[in-house]
Structure 1
Amino acid sequence: MKKLLMSLILFSSIFVSKAQTKFASIFNHHMVLQRNTEINIWGTDKPNSTVEVTGSWGAEAKVKTDKKGIWKTKLKTDNAGGPYTLAAKGSEQIILEDILLGEVWICTGQSNMAMSLKGGPGQHIEDSNDLILNSTNKNIRFFTVEKAVSREPLDSCKGSWEVSSPKTVANFSAVGYSFGLRLQKYLNVPVGLISSNVGGTPAQAWTPIETIEAEFPELKKDFIKKENTKTATVLYNGMIHPLIPYTIKGAIWYQGEGNRWNPEQYSRLFPAMIKSWRSNWKQGAFPFYFVQLAPYGNKLEGWVGVQQAQLKTMLTVPNSGMAVINDIGYKTRIHPPKKKEVGQRLALWALAKDYGVEGIAYSGPIYKSMKVKGAKLLVEFSQASLGITSMGKELIDFEISGADGVYHSAKAKITTRGSVLEVWSDKIQNPKNVRYGWKSYIEGSLFNTAGLPASSFTTEDWDTVFKNKN
């Protein structure tokens, strides 16, 4: 029976490549389709022909191709489950096998999202061998988009859907898999993960040309250069555009290192990129959760600036969230090995915000307010319902300034049953502002009682720069 099934699937695969009737490249055997909604389905056939699309869960639609032979339609999906088939019958018939209905997420960014579960040359991923060993799970599927650079938006990409197993998961995104695994285990539904990542890339490479031309004219000089993976728009064109409008639940993102040389620009570019994706996907303000840069290096220029740009994005862009990892950085590696924790912290955002899980913390402490009491600054935080804690560490990496704006190293103490942070310095009698984690590498010492760390922050100009969306 198994040999017969494999033969049928192999035959179907051959048929896909030769058929006149085709699905778009993201549709293939073993894929996951977003449950309980109306999904977008599209493909090609002969111009001005009729295509009937059928999902074996009980959905069907009929559509005509345009003069270029492109067809687009929608299908209603049911509750999570499967396996099902998805068929398109036009000038020929094509059948995709082993389809599941569940939750679909895009996993994208640069090398820290791209890094596979097995690790990289000389760079380990903690717990990777155990995660790989226990990865057999027919309810987790993933698609890795092959790297493609393009001046023009592409309609197809290379890649295939795979079922989670030790052989397949070893080469998939470690952060993406850890995120999906936590969702799948808790929700007990199929999870589909689409990985589209390239190392060493800036956000402008993932941003459509319309946004660059309208809002970032300084980047238009990229268009006269020979393209590479750092060129504006080329990765959006080659690796995101082919996925649109595949129906998704949301996106997770891990990037920022490639923009550290211009944090101010990134503070505008990153939100603009999110807005452009949402606009082009036409799914409204779908969830967009991202990872703040991990501590790394020695006084790297722009590093804290990018962290602040990311904090600002989280506080101002609707339906966004940020996983803070300044307690699990690695001073000598830009790719910190604790990828499982990163994926799990991203999943907390999704579980709390999108799947209605009550009672869990999903964010570390966020600066809320400050007042002066003598020579001390008293700081309070949101996202810390039971207060703040150092988790047994020494409270370090705090600085305060007076009216002159010069910052000095400061001492800190948690008081009032964990609800207030006192900060002071013997060098300043009239303090005005406090900041925390203001260098590229720290070992985070400020948390909420759920063990989630606080972002680096400054109270300077907080009300004008960090306008809270909540």
Structure 2
Amino acid sequence: MKNIYILLITFFVVISVHAELKTPAIFGRNMLLQQNTEVNIWGWANKGQTITVSPSWSTQKYAGKADNAGKWMIKIPTPAASYETYEINISDNKNKITFDNILIGEVWLCSGQSNMEMPMKGFKNQPVLGGNEAILKSKNKNIRLITVKRASSLTTQNDIIGEWAEATPETVKEFSATGYYYGKLLNEMLDVPIGLILSSWGGSSIEAWMSKDMLAEFNDIKLPTTKEDMKVPNRTPMVLYNSMINPIAGYTIKGCIWYQGESNYERSDQYPLLFGKMVNEWRKVWGQGEFPFYYCQIAPYNYASISTPDKQGGKFNSAFLREAQSKSAIQVPDVGMVVLMDIGEENCIHPQNKKTGGERLAMMALGKTYGLKGFAYESPTFKEMVLEENKVILTFENAPMWLTAFGKELKEFEVAGADKVFYPAKAEIKRSKVEVSSDKVSKPVAVRYAFKDFVVGDLFSTEGLPLSSFRSDNWDK
């Protein structure tokens, strides 16, 4: 028995001393690397081992040493984007890893809950509008995709399950529809290869995507300590961050797109604080400064249909969460929000029209990040209200071509007097302003637009970008 014990110890010592040269799954053949920068390549090897990275686009070799835990990281400069494929060789004294069919271009992280996760093939009985035809035409070796498999953990993990692949009908049908339409338009307009990293989980709350340290200041959020606390992992604080963000943090990206908020609609007051903290801390973890972060405002939906009676009406109206997301667009640096007031569905939380959301995100990036000009990419926003006798005059920003209802009557405005009772209002567009009044309110003090769970927005910029629901008051209901 003693000899067996000694043999086992010797075996594990040998294994630990001769660690295999390895990289995490975020690196691999078919991957796409960010252009014109220094990208991080990392992995594991023997403690103190010298690792050499040799990219085929350069004659130079880049070296580094594994630390006491066997972890190594090496930065390598990348050239300008092109459609030429490359190879990377990683070696130590005894082992070699080769990744081929690599492209250099623009890399974006796509994250959030089910409306980001929803694949091009749709969910069962929940189609993506035009998805099948788009899948058929999706073959494009210059768009590269990787999906991080769902995982959750109480402790931070260092690897994922997933692999890079070229865009083909077989790979695209399983990939995020929002993400795919985003990347497709970027590829078309920038004429460079596009890489998309999908890390999402349907039904997830924002705090599930935040680390223990990020959540430390939120005393009302209980952090899990045992597996029993993870009965609903996608809504358990920090566990998705540990398994689906921490292992890929540091993979050099251009920016992030985000579609989440439905699972936090009941706590709208807290959302801007959580969102701002998450964005700022993700940026710190990536170590790339304030990279662009663009997100979808949640689309209108009848949330009362999935809520208990005690969580309906009042602050449980999801318009309050849309308002919270609008605040985040102002409070957090270098972010942008796209509005989806025109594509929501009353009885399905997953809008069929994913192309509109994905392309509006892409237009935001093309304008704000890449500097393309000549088109609109930001929705008009409510600026202020002025009272004129029994009318309210509303002014808006981001409406240089004025406003339109595309020839239809505006039906989603309401006004209230000092009694805080809202009545449907008559609304007329006056160039870039809107005049609102109601025969039932002689002295209006507050205006709301489309401030309901489900509604179809009817006010747009002339370029076709919808206004978010908004209110001029700060009342609790």
Question: Same fold by TM (over 0.5)?
Answer: yes
Inter-partner Cα distance in structure 2 for 1:60 and 1:325: 48
Q: Summarize deviations over 1:334-375 as a string: whole Å, max 9, x none.
A: 101000111000001100011110111111110112211111
Match of 1:255 among 255, 260, 269: 260
Match of 1:212 among 212, 215, 219: 215
With normalisation by structure 1, the TM-score equals 0.92
Match of 1:171 among 143, 150, 174: 174
Asked if the contact 1:262–1:302 (Cα under 8 Å) also holds between the matched residues in 2, the reply is no
Residue 393 and residue 143 in structure 1: after superposition, are their counterparts in 2 closer, same or farther (change >3 A)?
same
| Structure 1 range deviating more: 440-449 or 223-232 | 223-232
| Structure 1 range deviating more: 391-400 or 107-116 | 391-400
| Aligned match of 1:75 | 76
Alignment of 1:44-443 (within 5 A): 44-58=44-58, 60-81=61-82, 82-91=84-93, 92-213=95-216, 215-223=217-225, 225-227=228-230, 228-297=233-302, 301-415=316-430, 418-443=431-456
What count of residue pairs does the alignment treat as equivalent? 443
| Aligned match of 1:446 | 459
Asked if the contact 1:212–1:220 (Cα under 8 Å) also holds between the matched residues in 2, the reply is no
Asked if the contact 1:223–1:232 (Cα under 8 Å) also holds between the matched residues in 2, the reply is no
Asked if the contact 1:285–1:319 (Cα under 8 Å) also holds between the matched residues in 2, the reply is yes
Q: Summarize deviations over 1:83-128 as a string: whole Å, max 9, x none.
A: 0011111131111000000000000100110010011111111111
Structure 1: 5+ residue stretches without partners? 1-17, 463-470
SS in 2 for 1:22: coil
Letter of the 1:26 partner, please give it.
Answer: I
Q: Summarize deviations over 1:243-283 as a string: whole Å, max 9, x none.
A: 11000000001111111121112121111111111111111
Asked if the contact 2:405–2:460 (Cα under 8 Å) also holds between the matched residues in 1, the reply is yes
Asked if the contact 2:81–2:192 (Cα under 8 Å) also holds between the matched residues in 1, the reply is yes
Q: Summarize deviations over 1:154-181 as a string: whole Å, max 9, x none.
A: 1100000010011110100000000000
Inter-partner Cα distance in structure 1 for 2:134 and 2:406: 27
Asked if the contact 1:201–1:230 (Cα under 8 Å) also holds between the matched residues in 2, the reply is yes
Inter-partner Cα distance in structure 1 for 2:24 and 2:161: 11
Asked if the contact 2:86–2:102 (Cα under 8 Å) also holds between the matched residues in 1, the reply is yes
Inter-partner Cα distance in structure 2 for 1:120 and 1:276: 32
Displacement after TM superposition at 1:292 (Å)? 0.7
With normalisation by structure 2, the TM-score equals 0.90
Inter-partner Cα distance in structure 1 for 2:341 and 2:432: 21
Alignment of 1:23-34 (within 5 A): 23-34=23-34
SS in 1 for 2:61: strand
Asked if the contact 2:250–2:286 (Cα under 8 Å) also holds between the matched residues in 1, the reply is yes
Asked if the contact 2:317–2:452 (Cα under 8 Å) also holds between the matched residues in 1, the reply is no
Inter-partner Cα distance in structure 1 for 2:164 and 2:270: 36
Letter of the 1:96 partner, please give it.
Answer: F
Displacement after TM superposition at 1:30 (Å)? 0.2
Inter-partner Cα distance in structure 2 for 1:233 and 1:205: 4
Asked if the contact 2:342–2:456 (Cα under 8 Å) also holds between the matched residues in 1, the reply is yes
Residue 218 and residue 110 in structure 1: after superposition, are their counterparts in 2 closer, same or farther (change >3 A)?
same
SS in 2 for 1:243: coil
Asked if the contact 1:390–1:447 (Cα under 8 Å) also holds between the matched residues in 2, the reply is yes
Asked if the contact 1:263–1:302 (Cα under 8 Å) also holds between the matched residues in 2, the reply is no
Structure 2: 5+ residue stretches without partners? 1-17, 305-311
Displacement after TM superposition at 1:461 (Å)? 4.8
Displacement after TM superposition at 1:302 (Å)? 3.7
Q: What is the RMSD of the two structures over their aligned residues, measured on CA atoms?
A: 1.7
Asked if the contact 2:413–2:425 (Cα under 8 Å) also holds between the matched residues in 1, the reply is yes
Inter-partner Cα distance in structure 2 for 1:221 and 1:163: 38
Displacement after TM superposition at 1:19 (Å)? 8.9
Letter of the 1:106 partner, please give it.
Answer: L
Displacement after TM superposition at 1:220 (Å)? 2.2
Letter of the 2:73 partner, please give it.
Answer: K
Asked if the contact 1:135–1:165 (Cα under 8 Å) also holds between the matched residues in 2, the reply is yes
Asked if the contact 2:114–2:201 (Cα under 8 Å) also holds between the matched residues in 1, the reply is yes
Displacement after TM superposition at 1:68 (Å)? 1.4
| Structure 1 range deviating more: 73-82 or 299-308 | 299-308
Letter of the 2:144 partner, please give it.
Answer: R
Q: Which has the larger radius of gyration?
A: 2
Letter of the 1:255 partner, please give it.
Answer: Q
Inter-partner Cα distance in structure 2 for 1:195 and 1:256: 17
Displacement after TM superposition at 1:24 (Å)? 2.4
Asked if the contact 1:19–1:94 (Cα under 8 Å) also holds between the matched residues in 2, the reply is no
Q: Summarize deviations over 1:403-433 as a string: whole Å, max 9, x none.
A: 3333222110001xx2110011111122222
| Aligned match of 1:42 | 42
Asked if the contact 2:380–2:461 (Cα under 8 Å) also holds between the matched residues in 1, the reply is yes
SS in 2 for 1:260: helix
Asked if the contact 1:205–1:236 (Cα under 8 Å) also holds between the matched residues in 2, the reply is yes
| Structure 1 range deviating more: 105-114 or 394-403 | 394-403
Residue 221 and residue 135 in structure 1: after superposition, are their counterparts in 2 closer, same or farther (change >3 A)?
closer
Inter-partner Cα distance in structure 1 for 2:453 and 2:115: 17
Displacement after TM superposition at 1:221 (Å)? 4.9
Displacement after TM superposition at 1:239 (Å)? 0.2
Residue 381 and residue 151 in structure 1: after superposition, are their counterparts in 2 closer, same or farther (change >3 A)?
same
SS in 1 for 2:423: strand
Inter-partner Cα distance in structure 2 for 1:298 and 1:274: 26
Inter-partner Cα distance in structure 2 for 1:259 and 1:95: 43
